Structure 1
Amino acid sequence: MDNLDTDTYFEFKTYEEFRKERLKLNYENTLKLWYSLPNSLPINDSNRLRRQTRKQQRARFRKIRHYAVYAILPKKTFLKKKIQSKGLQLLNETFNMPAANEEFIYDIRQGMGRITTEFCNKGRQYDPTISSKELFKAGRCVWFMISFRMQCNLPLILVDSMLGYNMLYPYTDDLVDCNDISREAKADFAKLFHERLLIGEPTYDPQVHFDGKQSNVAELNLPSSLQAQAERIVKIFDMVKFIENDWRRGGEYEGVYMGLTTIHEGQTKSILQHARTEDNYAPTMAQIEQISAEKGGASLLAAGFLLEGRLTRAQVAYLEYLGFGLQLIDDLQDVKEDMKNNHRTIFTQTLIEGRTLDVPTARLIQYYSCTPAYEKFSDDNQRKVSYQETDITFAQYVRVLMIKFSVMLILEAASRLRRYYSKEFYRELSSLSPFTFHHLKLFRIEKTLWTIMQKQWFG
């Protein structure tokens, strides 16, 4: 493992140097760890994972159901604190979280709800045609950026760069993944967008502030292959303008734009994950693993730069680790769709090779069960949020909650894929869930939380 100085900034004069060093850190903190992990689930319970009996799982589900019914009914003001306190108890019990100050948890929920609502409102304000599905897709990373802002002691506000970054990828995904767009057009867009991210517009003026109104399509200078996609591309370029509102080019924050370029390269490279019947092309597992690690790590690396402007090598290592994990969760959630579309991920390739998903899922659980070398995004030794017996800091609590939430998403995704697991493994995996898999697969955790945050329920 790279012996990193937590005070050394990850900064380079050229993008080539940045990319070379970033790929080294990516491998050290993703695939090198991935290859070393056991092929079975953790044997012993820990602070991150604990096994449950079916009786315990059913009892917890009943508590959650009763609480949800009670909490959404109109209540007198003096009962709100009682409801919030009960909700906190259920949260701690469900996620096996350390005891924490109730006001602190309430502040987290209020902050996340406020930013989620503001994100949706501003997204629709910029693009009234955007669908709820696209907004949800755009907003999934917002929560992780909020958690990083908390760890960095940054104000819980929605800045322009958060809006721009998270709105970028519904637009770019639609273009890159669209089967109706020619390979020539995709190649032209990849080159054009690479230059737009890394270098900027020829007319870039740091004194100009983007007002959030859609730019004029007629002002785009696009090659003929991209003329039909002009309306999509103008939105993509506008998202970069939102980012430029917060981070001026040509100074100490060039890492922001180098980070954005890495995620674009990863997204472009992911085209190689599509198997093709017309020429019998199919990626190897080694290629798939490499692309997944690079793309996943890049997504949070870019997000981290957008929050801080500058990152240390230790922070980069941590974000690479987390990003790969989130990429694998996303791939596990999309197994059925990816199988239909002949898109090869670690999970679908495993199925294509005639094996169950037991091993990659066990490894993913192990990935989140181990402690990475640099398990923190920032130092926070002052803000205590728990009771005296646990003495946990603000940043530590947020990190633990983020990991527990990620593990819950793994379990939820697996609960819907029973046919792809051995009976023994599926049964053992289900014991790690706070609820029975029968109940868990009904939750739709992310979409349910998205609705709760938007509507400010249980407030």
Structure 2
Amino acid sequence: MLPVQDYIDHFKEMWERSPDTFPQFHNTYSAEEKFTHERNFDGFQKKLKDLQNVRKAQQVQRDPAKSFFPMFRSFLETVFDFNPGHLEIILSEEFKDVSKDFFYRARAFGPELEPEDIYQGMRNVWIMNGLQLMAEKPVKITPSVFAYSMIYPYSDNLLDDPELSKVEKQAFSARFDRRLHGLPEEAVNHTEKQLFRLITMFEDEFPRGEFPKVYESLYAIQQGQTNSLKMIAQNGLSDDEICTICFEKGGASVLADGYLVAGEMTREQEQALFGYGVYLQLLDDIQDVKEDSLASTKTIFSCLPEKDLGRYVNKTIHFGREALEEMRCFNGVKSDDFLGLMNRSIEMMTVESVGLNHTWYSNDYLEEIEKVSPLHFDYLRKKRTQSKSQRFALFQKYFDMPKAKQKVA
């Protein structure tokens, strides 16, 4: 079996030694620079609004190279300061093609899904595409990339549904676990039927007898999901137990990403991906601290007293920088651009999360970390709902096409 506990212990030690002092950042932004970025953001939003016009949206579909992608490149450059090396990765032809391909397949597979659900899955596609680059594999939507990314909109949303009882969630997890282990299991609803179809896609690409570690990685993430249910309205968990559950869930998730991309990996690569997953889980928990607290879901962050979160954000950033260095064991990580892109993206999302959840931080901490944000925090809060709705509107418009042309997964 995969040495998941060894990886948990390794990264818990890394977490414990990560300092809680304020990190050094490459860039800080004056008020005037922020205002310039915000004007650029407003200009980009205006262009998105123009794309709600059907004729213009169709024009984008016909020739995205001359319309949408240059506009998006300018947005990333002039609002968030991504450098040319980062942009070459984000806007490569391979990444453009797989995003569109995934959307069409997802809509054909699950017409009941909302664009927001498909966008949730696409974020995992982008992670797996990055792993394909690192493992020197073609960047494309394989059956397993599709299936694993579609599991998120179905299983995560079900497990996060406050309307379902803990007993119902545990019964679902038990049925899903049996099917994941190759045992016959009857789906009791549409969501489970869809999930079982996705597991079949894994089995078709990676036969169980030939790729045992692929399935061990899937068992590991299922175990992590099951253990995470202990964090829902559960009293009596120690800080160490909460940390273990958090690290197991996040690390196993990206470990499975890696096996569903490569089929086989070295122990060093397993550990590196586990750490990447832990880092992403810490980011998720920072982003969701308010929701987790209201739902009595225990995480490293939601258990803290309000306005005491800053030093843990600092620890997360220091931890992430060290954890990502282990990714250099992959042959495809040939330069600092790839790791730089990963780290900048996560750190900017972390900084944004601080601004959006400002009541959890001291005024002194907010003042300090806002200096490294390219946008004012009050601007981010004002734009949050508007930019989210516009992002999904653009997402749906850009990828929309007649059903007759859709690809079937």
Band of TM-score, shorter chain: 0.7 to 0.9
Aligned-pair CA distance for 1:304: 0.6
Following superposition of structure 1 onto structure 2, how do residues 367-446 of structure 1 map, counting pairs within 5 Å?
Answer: 367-370=319-322, 372-376=324-328, 378-380=330-332, 393=334, 396-441=336-381, 442=383
Instruction: Give, as a single letter, the amino acid of the residue that structure 1 aligns with 2:248.
Output: E
Deviations 1:24-71 (A, max 9, x none): 12321x2211111121211x444xxx2222222222222344456569
Higher Cα Rg: structure 1 or 2?
Answer: 1
CA distance in 1 between partners of 2:86 and 2:345 (Å): 19
Which residue of 272, 289, 301 maps to 1:335? 289
Amino acid at match of 1:143: W
Instruction: Identify which of 94, 97, 100 aligns with 1:114.
Output: 97
Work out the CA distance in 2 between the residues paired with 1:64 and 1:371: 32
Aligned partners of 2:273 and 2:327 also within 8 Å: no
CA–CA separation in structure 2 for the residues paired with 1:456 and 1:177: 29
Q: Partner of 2:406 in structure 1?
A: none
Aligned to 2:127: 144
1:360–1:100 distance in 2 versus 1, CA, 3 Å: closer
- Residue 127 of structure 1 corresponds to 110
Query: Is the contact between residue 151 and residue 377 of structure 1 (CA under 8 Å) also seen in structure 2?
Result: no
Asked if residue 63 in structure 1 is aligned to residue 37 in structure 2, the reply is no
Aligned partner of 2:407 in structure 1 is none
Contact 1:27 1:293 in 2 (8 A): no
Shift of residue 105 of structure 1? 4.9
Matched-pair contact (CA < 8 Å) for 1:123–1:167: yes
**Shift in alpha-carbon separation, 1:447–1:257, aligned structure 2, 3 A:** farther
Matched residue, 1:27: 9
Describe how 1:52-451 pairs up with structure 2 within 5 A: 52-66=29-43, 69=46, 88=73, 91-92=76-77, 97-100=82-85, 104-105=88-89, 107-108=91-92, 110-178=93-161, 181=164, 183-198=166-181, 200-201=182-183, 220-221=185-186, 229-251=188-210, 253-276=211-234, 281-351=235-305, 356-370=308-322, 372-376=324-328, 378-380=330-332, 393=334, 396-441=336-381, 442=383
User: Where does residue 402 of structure 2 map in the other structure?
Assistant: none
Tell me how far 1:238 sits from its aligned partner: 0.9
Check whether the contact 1:411–1:433 (CA below 8 A) recurs between aligned residues: yes
**Structure 2 CA distance for aligned equivalents of residues 83 and 236 of structure 1:** 34
CA-CA distance at 1:323 after TM superposition: 0.6
Answer whether contact 1:95 1:404 (CA < 8 A) is retained: no
Deviations 1:285-332 (A, max 9, x none): 221111111100011000010000011122112111111111111112
Secondary structure of the equivalent of 2:308?
coil
Q: Deviations over 1:121-178 (max 9, x none)?
A: 2222122222233223322211111111222332222111111111113322344344
CA positional deviation for 1:378: 2.1
Residues 94 and 153 of structure 1: is their aligned pair in 2 closer, same or farther, counting only changes over 3 Å? farther
SS in 2 for 1:376: helix
Q: Distance in 1 between matches of 2:105 and 2:69?
A: 29
Task: Write 1 or 2 for the structure with the bigger share of helix.
Answer: 2
Q: Could you list the runs of 5+ residues in structure 1 that have no partner in the other structure?
A: 1-14, 203-219, 223-228, 382-392
Could you tell me which amino acid in structure 1 is paired with residue 273 of structure 2?
A: L
Q: Aligned residue pairs: how many?
A: 389
Q: CA RMSD in A?
A: 3.3
Identify if the C-alpha distance between structure 1 residues 107 and 188 changes in structure 2 by more than 3 Å, giving closer, same or farther. Answer: closer
User: Could you list the per-position Cα deviations for residues 76-133 of structure 1 after superposition, in whole angstroms to 9, with x for gaps in the alignment?
Assistant: 999977996786566456555554497x45752x433332232222222122222233
Aligned counterparts of 2:101 and 2:396: Cα–Cα separation in 1: 9
Sequence identity of aligned pairs in percent? Answer: 24
What is the identity, as a one-letter code, of the residue corresponding to 1:412? E
Deviation at 1:400, TM superposition (A): 1.6
Contact 1:139/1:166 (<8 A) preserved: yes
Distance 2:64 2:213 in 1: 49
By how many angstroms is 1:415 displaced?
Answer: 0.8
> Aligned letter for 1:428?
E
- Whether 2:10 is the aligned partner of 1:36: answer no
TM-score (norm 2): 0.83
Using a 3 Å threshold, how does the CA distance of structure 1 residues 453 and 116 change in structure 2: closer, same or farther?
farther
Where 1:346 maps in the other structure, the secondary structure is coil
Unpaired segments of 5 or more residues in structure 2? 400-409
2:100 aligned counterpart, secondary structure: helix
- Secondary structure of 1:41's counterpart equals coil
**One-letter amino acid of the counterpart of residue 239, structure 1:** L
Deviates more, 1:185-194 or 1:295-304: 185-194
**1:213 aligns to what?**
none
Instruction: Determine the C-alpha separation between the residues in 1 that align with 2:206 and 2:63.
Output: 45
